[in-house]
Each structure stands twice: as structure tokens, then as C-alpha cells.
């Protein structure tokens, strides 16, 4: 089994939005990543529309023949400035996967997973609705969360392990505990019937060690580091570099 690479396009949109207009093109970036061999695309449309916007999601869903993963806060409703609400975006785009994330509207980036003891009852009908629409549902969860098995009980297909703490520990060189916590979380999820994705702050240095220890990760979603590295090496070569890292970790 080879772990699939989903490229997060948010940072392309950040650059475009900083100047206004249409460049750099999110669609062109998506096509470049797919031509280089990535397996899918991730977008995270937030209510403040500071990067990926609802019209970007619509355009990607219509123009790109690839697995689309839409991340976001399932509780985020419509706003007066044109954001239709997260579930409305997913309903229109009908992606292969929706990754539900407990982000606050003003949150800079995702930095924690769901507390399913608190949120499970509220999430369950939303998960059921996405499943009826034919969308695969993944829940963003902290490594070591006591609620992993609860994700299966409320109907999720997968969890996405939040890898920020592992990535931060990797920078210090003292990451064995965080890595084993991720591995244990994956094993618990799989024992409960859940598949496992992973993402946040993964890069070319820490991805290989992660995949060699954490079992049967089906998909990694990588954006910030990949786009940053692409500034120096080019977008297509950087995507291919990540695929090489994944391939090496699978042998």
C-alpha cells in the first residue's frame, strides 16, 4: 500500500488574494500538482475567505478530475459577505472526502482535534447527512485522544491525525514520544474500523520517519511546507520529491 498525497492549495490562494486578481491561478496550480503525480487536492475554505474561496471550490470540482478533499468547520454557517456555510459548499461540490475540523472562524490555522465527548452528539447527524450524500467523512483528531473509538461510533469513515505536535517535536530532535503516540492512535483507529489520514506541518524531512512508524496511513494532506519548498525548487519537482519520500517509506 502506498500512502496517497493530497496537496493543499490554500497557500496558492493566499498569494493570489494578497494582490487581488486571478494570479497565481489555483486551477493551474492544481493541474500542475496532478500532472506531477499527486493523488488528490485539499482545500479549506474558511468563513473569512482569506485564502480558498467558495468559487474556487466550485471551479475545482467542475474542472479537475481528481479526488477532492474539502476541510472545514461543519458548524460554520452562512455569512453576509458571501460565504454560504461549510456544509453548503460540500453539498454543491460533492467531493470524495470532507474532513471536519473544529476551527473557530478567526483561527489562523488548525491546531487541535475534536473533543467527541462534547461534540459527538452534535456531529453525528452532520456525519450521517454527508454519508447519505456519498461523501467520505474524516474527523480531525489529536494524537492520543481518548475519543478515537467514538469517531467510529458517530459514523466517520476515517480520522485525520493532527501531526502538528509531532512536527514541532521533530524540529527539536526529540520526537520519539509524539511519533509513538501517532502510531498508537492509528492502531486504535484501525482496530475500531476507521481508516487513517494524517496532516499538518508535515514536510520532506519528517514525513518519511512518520510513515515508517505509523501503520497504514492512507493519505497525507500537505500544503504549507510543500508550497514553501516549491518557491525554491518549483511546484512540480516538489510534488515529485514528496512522492519519492512516500515511496521510500513504503519499501
**Averaged pLDDT, 237-241:** 98
- Mean pLDDT of the region 194-222: 98
Number of domains forming the structure of the chain:
1
Q: What is the pLDDT of residues 122-160, one digit of tens each?
A: 999 999 999 999 999 999 999 999 999 999 999 999 999
In the residue annotation, 44 being an active-site residue is answered as yes
**What confidence tens digit (pLDDT) does each residue in 73-104 have?**
999 999 888 899 999 999 999 999 999 999 86
For residues 16-39, average pLDDT? 97
Residue in 51, 160, 178, 200 annotated catalytic: 200
**116 band by pLDDT with thresholds 50, 70 and 90:** very high
223-241: average pLDDT: 97
Alpha helices per DSSP H over the chain:
10-19, 26-35, 54-63, 86-93, 116-132, 148-153, 164-172, 176-191, 207-213, 224-233, 235-250
Cβ-count burial of 103 within 10 angstroms (0-12 exposed, 13-18 middle, 19+ buried)?
A: buried
pLDDT bin (cut points 50, 70, 90) of residue 105 is low
DSSP 7: E
Active-site residue, 112 included? no
SS (H, E, C) 155-177: CCCEEEEECHHHHHHHHHCCCHH
pLDDT bucket at 107, cuts 50 / 70 / 90: low
Q: What is the pLDDT of residue 108?
A: 59
d(CA 242, CA 123): 33
The Cβ of residue 39 has, within 10 Å, a number of other Cβ atoms equal to 18
CATH number at residue 58: 3.20.20.70
C-alpha cell at 218: 492512507
pLDDT band at 190 (very low <50, low <70, confident <90, very high): very high
Q: What is the mean pLDDT of the chain?
A: 95
Is the separation of the CB atoms in 9 and 222 below 8 Å?
no
Catalytic residue among 51, 67, 71, 219: 71
Task: Check: CB of residue 45 under 8 Å from CB of residue 52.
Answer: yes
Q: Which domain holds residue 33?
A: 4-250
168 counts as catalytic: no
How many alpha carbons fall within 13 Å on the CB side of residue 56? 33
What pLDDT band is residue 110 in, cutting at 50, 70 and 90?
low
- Average the pLDDT over each of 47-51, 93-97, 210-214 and give the range with the smallest value: 47-51
Beta bridge partners of 97: 69, 136
Amino acid at each position: 500500500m502506498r500512502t496517497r498525497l493530497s496537496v493543499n492549495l490554500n497557500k496558492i490562494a493566499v498569494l493570489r488574494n494578497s494582490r487581488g486578481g486571478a494570479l497565481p491561478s489555483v486551477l493551474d496550480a492544481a493541474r500542475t500538482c496532478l500532472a506531477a503525480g499527486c493523488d488528490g487536492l485539499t482545500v479549506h475554505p474558511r468563513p473569512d475567505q482569506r485564502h480558498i474561496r467558495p468559487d474556487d471550490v466550485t471551479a475545482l470540482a467542475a474542472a479537475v478530475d481528481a479526488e477532492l478533499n474539502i476541510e472545514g468547520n461543519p458548524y460554520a454557517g452562512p455569512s453576509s459577505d458571501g460565504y454560504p456555510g461549510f456544509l453548503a459548499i460540500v453539498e454543491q461540490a460533492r467531493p470524495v472526502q470532507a474532513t471536519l475540523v473544529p476551527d473557530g472562524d478567526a483561527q489562523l490555522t488548525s491546531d487541535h482535534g475534536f473533543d467527541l465527548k462534547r461534540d459527538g452528539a452534535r456531529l453525528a447527524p452532520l456525519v450521517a447527512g454527508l454519508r447519505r450524500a456519498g461523501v467520505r467523512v474524516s474527523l480531525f483528531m489529536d494524537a492520543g485522544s481518548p475519543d478515537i473509538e467514538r469517531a467510529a461510533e458517530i459514523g466517520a469513515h476515517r480520522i485525520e491525525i493532527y501531526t502538528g505536535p509531532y512536527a514541532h517535536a521533530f524540529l527539536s530532535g526529540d520526537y520519539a514520544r509524539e511519533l509513538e503516540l501517532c502510531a498508537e492512535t492509528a492502531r486504535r483507529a484501525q482496530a475500531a474500523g476507521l481508516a487513517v489520514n494524517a496532516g499538518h506541518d508535515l514536510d520532506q524531512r519528517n514525513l518519511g520517519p512518520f510513515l515508517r512508524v505509523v501503520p497504514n496511513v492512507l493519505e497525507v494532506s500537505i500544503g504549507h511546507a510543500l508550497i514553501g519548498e516549491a518557491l525554491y525548487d518549483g511546484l512540480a519537482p516538489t510534488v515529485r520529491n514528496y512522492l519519492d519520500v512516500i515511496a521510500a517509506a513504503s519499501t
